[in-house]
Amino acid sequence: YTILGIGLYAPRTVKVYDYLDELLGNAPIDAVVLRTHIGNMTQGDCKITGPSVYRNATHRYQVSIVDALDYVQSRQAKFSGMQLMVSFTMAAFWGRPLKKYDEQFPIGKDCAVLFESHMKSVCLTYKMYIGNVVPDLHVMMHYNASRGVFNAYDNDLTIKWKICSATKEHPNLQFGVALFHLEYEDGQKVCLHKGSDFRRAAGYYRLEAVSKYIKNVIRDPGFFTKNISC
C-alpha cells in the first residue's frame, strides 16, 4: 500500500507541480495525503496564521484546505482511483510579534517566532487563551497585547466544521482526514487538573470527536440531502 504525502507549499507556477503531475500519472500510488498544516516558523519567514486554515491562507507557503482540494479537482483524472486525505496537526501554536507588546497583531502580520506546543499549554493558561474562531481561516486564536503573545490551534469543532464545509464545497471529491502529531494531545489528561479552564481538552478529544463525526455524519448516505448545518 503506497501513500504519497504532498506538502503543497510552493506557488503552483514552479516546475515541481509539473513533476508532480507526471508522478501522479505514472507511479503506482494508492493514497494521497494533502498536507495543509504547517509547523514551526522563525523570524523572516513568520506570519500570523493557524496550523491548518480553511481558505485565504496568509503565508506564502501555506495552502488552505479549499486551495488544496481545488488543486485536486482541477486534476481529478490524475487522482483517479486514489484514496484522498486532508491533514490537520494536533499542535497548538504560540508566537510573538516582531515588536513586543504591539497592540495590533492581525492575521497575516509578520511575527518573530511561531512554535508548536502541546494542547495542555492552552488548557493550563489563562482562560483568554482558549481563543475565538477567526473567520475564513476558521481556527481558534487569541492575542494578548499586554504580554505580547498569541496562540492558535484547531479544536474538535473547527476541524469538524472544516471537514463538513469542504465536503459541501467539493461534492465530487471523497476524502478522509489524516491527523498528525497525536503526541501533542493531552494523553495524560493534565487538562483535568484543578485550575484548568479547558477541561474538555483532556485525553485524545479531537481524535475521538473527529472520528465519530466522519463515520456518523460525513459518511451518512443522506449527508447531501438532509441539509446538515456545519
Distance CA 113, CA 106 (A): 15
- Of 11-15, 45-49, 80-84, 181-185, which range is least confident? 11-15
- Would you list the domain boundaries of the chain? 3-218
Confidence category of residue 59, pLDDT binned at 50, 70, 90 = confident
Looking only at the bridges linking them, the beta strands covering 83-89 and 31-35 are parallel
Q: What pLDDT is attached to residue 25?
A: 76
104 in Cβ contact with 69 (< 8 Å):
no
Q: What pLDDT is attached to residue 37?
A: 87
Is residue 165 predicted with pLDDT exceeding 90? yes
Sign of CA dihedral 108, 111, 115, 121: negative
Mean pLDDT of the chain: 87
- Burial class from Cβ neighbours inside 10 Å (0-12, 13-18, 19+) for residue 75 reads middle
Q: What pLDDT is attached to residue 27?
A: 78
Residue 136 DSSP code: T
Q: 41 vs 50, 82, 112, 178, 220, CA distance in Å?
A: 12, 32, 9, 22, 39
Confidence category of residue 228, pLDDT binned at 50, 70, 90 = confident
pLDDT average, residue stretch 9-15 = 61
Is residue 56 predicted with pLDDT exceeding 80? yes
* Adjacent-strand bridge partners of 33: 5, 85
Distance CA 123, CA 128 (A): 10
Output the pTM of the full model: 0.90
Report the percent of the chain where pLDDT is more than 70.
94
